A and B are shown apart, each in its own frame.
Chain A
Amino acid sequence: MLPVTHYLFLSFALFFIGLTGVLSRRNLVVKLFSIEIILSAASINFMAFARLYGDATGQVFSILVVAMLALELLVALVIIAAVCSRWKCATGDYGKDLPSQLDY
């Protein structure tokens, strides 16, 4: 196994990539999967430490993080759909696709 600091550097890098994405992009879909990048950085951390300590808690936490991520994406997309149905974006507007209309 590689020294655990290698995994830490990888997850720090992913964390900062995701953080920059959330803070500087205006498109909602891009924000959503930038948050997903941060959460997968945390998952990498959990699995690396679980391997280090031989403890299953980290792996359980990884699975829970992914499950929570899925739930949060679902809720966020439902809310975006509600907003878009009121603001009439992406319905019957030929020549425009949904992601470009989700700019704030």
Chain B
Amino acid sequence: MLNHILNAFRTYMHGDGAVLLPEMQLFLFAIGTLAMDSWAANTSSEKSGSNLVFEQKYWNPAIALAGIAFSTLTLGMLRARIVQSGELAGFHLTLVIDNYFVFFSALFLAATALVILLSVNSSTISAVRQGRYFALLLFACISMMLMVSAVDLVTIFLAMEAATISAYFLTATPGLSNRTPSAAVRFVFSSALGSALVVYGFSLLYGLSGASNITQVARALGSRHNVAKVIALSHQSSQQGLQMLQLLQSRLPEAVHWHAFTLEALPIAAFLLVIVGIVVKFAVPPFQAEFNYANGEKDFGISGPVILYLSGAFTITAAALLVRLLFTIFADSQNIWWYIIAGLAICGIGYGILGSLRETNVERIVVYSSIGQMGYVLLGVVAANEGAATAMTYYLFTYLFMVTGLFGVLITVGEKNAPAGFLRDLSGLRQRSAVMALLLIVFVLSLAGAPPTAGFFGRYFIFHSLLETGHRYIAWFVALSSLPLAYSYLRIAVYAWRGNKSGSESTPVVFGAREAIVLGICVFVSLAAGLYSEPFTRMARYAFGQ
């Protein structure tokens, strides 16, 4: 009996279970974090913490980091397995392990680990909610990994919903920020609207193809022109029309009901709905800034590490999902829809630049500009060749570390009653801590796109691929729009380096090993990926299977 159960378990783990293994491990450790949280809360009244190995507040992040370490090891084993025996698909071809998944989930695990390290000493996360906070981070990481692993409309939708529900709780849990979560409410509604649009688009895609696996949808959409011609011919009352009707009835009986115009028009509607839905769903936090101005609030009301996670890892997840959808389902008509994506990207870049120019809140500057950065990534979809694919993944990879570094400096520099939210809070940083000011300048230069850093090379690769595929004016726009974007970033550096605070207010910045590790990794990637970019471009090419 036991053998039976063990055999069944082993078969599952070698087949379908292997596809879900990294996520399952993270899930177990998230549950472990919650359990540890409640156990520590129960025993803290008895012990005073004198003979514990760690202090109690370090147990939760330690378990979360252990979960990420295990998951990374599993990811390495899966990578070795797919190098040997090709792509791994499970659950009736709804989830897949391929190079794309390995690359992006390694990136998400790294992002989650960095955010966990940064938020241990963060002043805005009260100790009461700590266990739940780290568990929520792990749940969000699980759903982001599922989003890149999903190749079926159903699983894509489920993973998207799971990711955004984790985001709702991260932004709205009262203990995670001292301020009213009104931005969280508006985030919930915009995000819900976005997912409704995406679901409607998916329903149209399913209706056009009769299948929910995205490769089958792609095949059906690819042949829709021929099917439309056959349908148009079959409506004629001639000998040929009758022949076409019989052909349709034998090969594709459902298509008899379609009108040829519907078959041509619905994919456009589906495309618009899916793209707009994903953009509204994930590019959301800055939209709330409009309302915050109206209500007199000065910042997001969400704590620093959470904003970092949303504008870093979540935005990258959205970009990864968009790239997968655009390159599989809508690949055949790219020469038609690139106008729409180019227009969307240019509007996004313009909106990001204009929005960040008038801001005085550093977090908002960075979040607005991140819309601009994602606009540049979308322009890589416009120039759809191999170099563009590499450019996009390289850009997303380096963008994560640059943004984590910048927010890391802000979180480290901020104190409990003086969070470094505004530009004026950063003035005099050089007197307080020269190291922090230098790091801030490195990250800001990297995001702005100064030559020896990684940010420059990301934008340069996209510029190059746009020129290669003949989109000259868009390439000019990329080059010229980098200037105002650089201005809005460099303002931050100027305040940090040249500002003067009076002596009584400037306390030295205290940071420990955790922040040093995070900032060290981020500055290493920002500089090394620019100075010696070959290993990083090789990693970026790996994501697309080369």
Contact = CB atoms under 8 A, between A and B. Distances in A.
Contact of A79 (B181, B196, B259): B181
The bracket for how many chain B residues form the interface is 35 or more
B200 A42 contact: yes
B154 A61 contact: yes
The bracket for how many chain A residues form the interface is 35 or more
A77 B441 CA distance: 43
B228 to A, nearest CB: 15
Interface in A37-59: 38-39, 41-43, 45-46, 48-49, 52-53, 55, 57-58
A86 B180 contact: yes
A41 B168 CA distance: 24
B154 A57 contact: yes
Contacts of B199: 38-39, 42, 65
A4 B172 contact: no
A82 B174 contact: yes
Given A4-B258, A57-B212, A72 B180 contact: no
B161 interface: yes
B341 interface: no
A38 B158 contact: no
Contacts of A72: 161, 165, 192, 195
B127 to A, nearest CB: 19
B157 interface: yes
Interface in B193-231: 193, 195-197, 199-200, 202-204, 206-207, 210-212
B181 A52 contact: no
Contacts of A39: 196, 199
Interface in A48-85: 48-49, 52-53, 55, 57-58, 60-61, 64-65, 68, 71-72, 75-76, 78-80, 82-83
Given A15-B200, A35-B193, A72-B192, A8 B262 contact: yes
A83 B203 contact: no
B158 A64 contact: yes
Q: Is the interface of B mostly helix, strand, loop or mixed?
A: helix
A83 B140 CA distance: 23
Contacts of B184: 79, 83
Contact of B206 (A15, A61, A80): A61
A31 B258 CA distance: 34
Contacts of B161: 68, 71-72
A49 B188 contact: no
B153 interface: yes
Nearest to B171: A79
Contacts of B158: 64, 68
Given A45-B204, A57-B211, A38 B189 contact: no
Contacts of B165: 71-72, 75
A48 B207 CA distance: 8
B182 interface: yes
A8 B165 CA distance: 30
Contacts, number: 117
B132 to A, nearest CB: 13
B172 A79 contact: yes
Contacts of B154: 57, 60-61, 64
Nearest to A3: B257
Interface in A1-17: 3-5, 8, 11, 15
Nearest to B161: A68
A39 B193 CA distance: 9
A100 B107 CA distance: 45
The listed residue with most A CB atoms (<10 A of its CB), out of B172, B192, B211, is: B192
A94 interface: no
Contacts of B186: 104
A28 interface: yes
B169 interface: yes
Given A57-B211, A75-B169, A45 B200 contact: yes
B188 A4 contact: no
Nearest to A39: B196
B171 to A, nearest CB: 9
B247 interface: no
Nearest to A78: B172
A18 B157 CA distance: 20
Contacts of B204: 45
Given A61-B153, A83-B180, A55 B168 contact: no
Contact of A76 (B180, B189, B257, B259): B189
A79 B195 CA distance: 18
Q: Which 3 A-B pairs have the closest CB atoms?
A: A45-B203, A49-B207, A53-B210
Interface of A: 3-5, 8, 11, 15, 18, 22, 28, 31-32, 35, 38-39, 41-43, 45-46, 48-49, 52-53, 55, 57-58, 60-61, 64-65, 68, 71-72, 75-76, 78-80, 82-83, 86-87, 104
9 contacts: A38-B196, A39-B196, A42-B200, A43-B203, A46-B206, A52-B210, A79-B188, A82-B181, A86-B180
Given A58-B203, A64-B157, 13 more contacts: A3-B257, A4-B207, A8-B262, A22-B193, A32-B192, A39-B199, A45-B207, A61-B154, A76-B168, A76-B192, A78-B172, A80-B185, A82-B181
Interface of B: 153-154, 157-158, 161, 165, 168-169, 172, 174, 180-182, 184-186, 188-189, 192-193, 195-197, 199-200, 202-204, 206-207, 210-212, 254, 257-259, 262, 291
